[in-house]
Amino acid sequence: MTVVGGPITAIDVLAARLDQLGVAHARLQTSRAFHSPMMDLAVPELARQVARYQLHPPALRLASNLTGAWLTPDEATDPGYWARQLRAPVRFADGLTTALESSAQILLELGPGHALNAFVRKHPAYGPGHSVVSVLEDPRCSDGTRIASLVEARAI
């Protein structure tokens, strides 16, 4: 999957061209073109705001959407690193490649829904030792899918 950002007129032109080519697409419901030059002015302010907090390295390994590699302690505690997240391309597939390097991994989906689950299962590095657990119930489902995913992942 690919996300593009920019001025609405440019997005309209791209959408029309994709329609002509028969390429499926959808607009994201967002107020800003995150990870694009349109965020340049916000980056320094976000760094200043993050610097107000005492940052600590994570206790668990995290794949960085900024680098695609494991998050280092220096990155985790650098306000500039978190501000760059706002502007830089998301290297989600690279991060999944990093996370799936080990043959036995459990990936946690912390938000509602199952987007991570879908992305991981389509990734070429996904294998039998990998599990994806959605921590929150999808608000559209109330049929016990969270419990089923936890049992499937051998988490309970």
* 24 and 41 together in one domain: no
- Rounded distance, CA 89 to CA 36, Å? 7
* 43 and 82 together in one domain: yes
> What pTM was computed for the model?
0.72
* 72 and 107 together in one domain: no
* 73 and 116 together in one domain: no
* 66 and 45 together in one domain: yes
CA dihedral sign, ordered 111, 112, 115, 117? positive
* 107 and 75 together in one domain: no
* 20 and 50 together in one domain: no
Asked whether residue 40 is assigned to any structural domain, the reply reads: yes
Q: What is the pLDDT averaged over residues 142-146? A: 54
Task: Express each pLDDT in 54-80 by its tens digit.
Answer: 999 999 888 999 999 999 999 999 999
Task: Give the residue from 44, 68, 90 where a domain finishes.
Answer: 90
Domain that holds residue 67: 33-90
Task: Give the residue from 67, 90, 113 where a domain finishes.
Answer: 90
Q: At residue 42, what are phi and psi to the nearest 5 degrees?
A: -85, -20
The number of domains in the chain is 3
8: Cβ contacts below 8 Å, ≥ 6 apart: none
Looking at residue 2, what is its pLDDT? 80
HSE toward the beta carbon, residue 67, CA cutoff 13 A:
13
Is 39 in contact with 6 (CB distance < 8 Å)? no
Asked whether residue 95 is assigned to any structural domain, the reply reads: no
